[in-house]
Structure formats: C-alpha cells, structure tokens
C-alpha cells in the first residue's frame, strides 16, 4: 500500500519524458529501448521534492496529498542522485531541486528546437551573469594577496581590507546552493565548483589569520616572512607559505573552469588570472 502522496506511474513517466530520460542532476541517461521486450527499460526515479510523507526529506505537513503527488513536486533523477538528495536534504533544498527539473526540461526542449545550440558544459546567459559576478567577487578578494618565494623562503602579504572581504564573501556564500542566492549559478556542475571556491577562500582566510602568519598593525596586513625566522620557525613559515599558495592556485584553477563555462566571457575571465 503506497503512501497517499506517492506519484502515479503516469507522473513518473511524464517526469522522465520531460527530462528526456536523463538525470536532471548529473545527466546520466536513465533508460533504453529493449527491442526484445518491445518497451523502454528504465532505472531512473521520479524523486519527490517534498517527501510523500511529512516526516520524510523536505517534508511539509501543510501540503495535501494531491499537491505532493503532482508532477511539479517531482524531479527525474538516476538512482544514485535520488539516494543522495534524500540522505542530505539540508544541502538539496526545495528550490534547488525545482530548478534542476526546470533546467532539465528547458535543455531537452532546446536540444530539439535549437540543434547544436545546447552544450551541456555551457551556461545560459543568466547563469553566466551570476558566474561572472561570482568570479569578479573572488578576484577582488585575492587582488592584493602577495605570495612568493625568495632565496630564504616564502613571503606573504594580504591587506586586512581584502582579507576581510574574503572572509565576509565566504560567509555570504554559505548558502550558495540555494537557487534564491543571488550568486547561485543554478547549474549543478557550476554550483559544485562555486562551493569549492568558497570553501577554499574561507580556508585561506583561516590560514593567514593564524600563526605563523601575523597581523602587522603598521601596514594593516597579514604578513608572513620566512627569512625573519630561524630553525623550526622558518620551516613552519615556509610550510604555511606553501599551503597558502596551494589554496590560491586551487582557487585560480577552479575559477578558470567556471570561466570556461561562460563561453563568451571566458577569455577575459581566465586572462585575469594569468
Ligand atoms: Zn544522477
């Protein structure tokens, strides 16, 4: 006996067809036609956005069974992604999942109406705009971060103003997976990269605001200077410089990947880091 909010077979099939039989999150094809059986064999899922019962993931007791079993409460996913969104419902919110299905339906329409006009890796102009803004904000955080290695070791310098901007930027982007977030690119792949950039920016700030970095009042900047240290102190300072540089390189690489997804804007955005 199914729960009252369960989807009908017809709704599950409609969600799959609207998404062109591909997972709305990862793009995995979810069915094939078997000539021997004379029918399509599917292993996709019609996943609930708000759970069929109020105790389930993203459950909402204000929703009636009729609303819970309606197609607009569903998203077509592969079995893996369907599992994932229910294991971590805090991360995969209602608006995010609604956006996945809408985006999958839009892609499948464009694939027919504009042959050759759809490239899975590229973003729509609205998504690209959000990505460009996100990259501009990231660039601004790192603009005055100086990190280099001289003959005695690593030297680092990050003005408090920019470093503090990085800290508040990573805080502001804590909920960037939610579609309502003004910087959310609303494309699962782009959002995943954005989340990794935000984590790296936050970690970079944590590293430079702790020893062996120190805050220099006169220049109002976080500083690291391996040459002024001796023995174990110098080793620590060099390790800290190396680590900060690896964060910085990660951020540049990830934002280049993001920039490449915006197509037209990519040259300028990648160029900003070269
Ligand atoms: Zn999937």
Residue among 240, 215, 233, 218 at smallest CA distance from 155: 240
CA of 60 to the centre of ligand 1 (A): 24
pLDDT at 35: 87
**Rg of the chain in Å (alpha carbons):** 24
Q: Express each pLDDT in 118-175 by its tens digit.
A: 454 567 777 788 888 999 999 999 989 999 998 889 999 999 999 999 999 999 999 9
Helix (H, G, I), strand (E, B) or coil at 156: strand
When the pLDDT of each residue in the chain is averaged and rounded to a whole number, the result is 86
Say whether pLDDT at 116 is over 70: no
pLDDT at 111: 67
Any idea where the domains of the chain sit in the sequence?
A: 9-113, 125-271
With contact defined as beta carbons under 8 Å apart, do 11 and 65 qualify?
no
Confidence of residue 267 (pLDDT cuts 50, 70, 90): very low
Dist CA 112 CA 174 (whole Å): 37
CA of 273 to the centre of ligand 1 (A): 33
Give me the torsion for CA of 247, 250, 254, 256, rounded to 10°: 110
Note residues around ion ligand 1 (Cβ under 5 angstroms): 23, 25-26, 28, 78, 81
Beta partners for 39? 34
Mean per-residue pLDDT for 176-198? 87
CA of 11 to the centre of ligand 1 (A): 19
Task: Report the chain's terminal Cα–Cα distance, integer Å.
Answer: 61
Q: Which residue has the tokens 């004379």?
A: 38
Q: Express each pLDDT in 83-97 by its tens digit.
A: 999 998 888 889 889
Helix (H, G, I), strand (E, B) or coil at 224: strand
With contact defined as beta carbons under 8 Å apart, do 263 and 128 qualify?
yes
CA of 25 to the centre of ligand 1 (A): 5
The share of the chain scoring above pLDDT 90, in percent, equals: 54
Residues 6+ apart with CB under 8 A from 110: 117, 118
Distance of CA 261 to the CA centre of its chain: 13
Residue among 29, 1, 3 at smallest CA distance from 16: 29
CA of 5 to the centre of ligand 1 (A): 23
Say whether pLDDT at 271 is over 60: no
pLDDT at 269: 33
pLDDT at 121: 53
Higher pLDDT, 233 or 91: 233
Tokens of 72: 């607009």
Higher pLDDT, 263 or 178: 178
């Amino acid at each position: 006996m199914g729960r009252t909010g369960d989807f009908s077979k017809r709704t599950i099939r409609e969600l799959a067809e609207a998404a062109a039989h591909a997972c709305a999150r990862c793009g995995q094809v979810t069915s094939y036609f078997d000539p021997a059986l004379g029918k399509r064999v599917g292993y996709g899922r019609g996943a609930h956005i708000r759970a069929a019962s109020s105790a389930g993931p993203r459950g909402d007791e204000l929703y009636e069974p009729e609303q819970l079993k309606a197609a607009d409460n569903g998203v077509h996913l592969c079995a893996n992604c369907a599992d994932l969104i229910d294991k971590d419902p805090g991360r995969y919110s209602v608006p995010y999942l609604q956006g996945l299905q809408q985006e999958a339906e839009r892609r499948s329409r464009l694939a027919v109406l504009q042959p050759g006009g759809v490239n899975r890796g590229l973003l729509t102009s609205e998504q690209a705009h959000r990505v460009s803004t996100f990259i501009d904000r990231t660039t601004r955080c790192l603009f005055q971060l100086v990190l280099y290695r001289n003959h005695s070791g690593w030297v680092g310098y990050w003005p408090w103003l920019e470093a503090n901007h990085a800290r508040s930027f990573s805080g502001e982007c804590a909920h960037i997976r939610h579609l309502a977030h003004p910087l959310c690119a609303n494309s699962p792949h782009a959002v995943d990269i954005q989340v990794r950039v935000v984590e790296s920016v936050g970690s970079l700030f944590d590293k430079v605001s702790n020893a062996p970095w120190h805050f220099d009042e006169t220049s109002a900047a976080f500083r690291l200077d391996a040459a002024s240290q001796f023995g174990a102190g110098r080793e620590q300072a060099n390790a800290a410089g190396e680590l900060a540089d690896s964060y910085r390189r990660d951020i540049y690489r990830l934002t280049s990947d993001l920039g490449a997804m915006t197509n037209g804007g990519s040259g300028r955005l990648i160029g900003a880091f070269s």
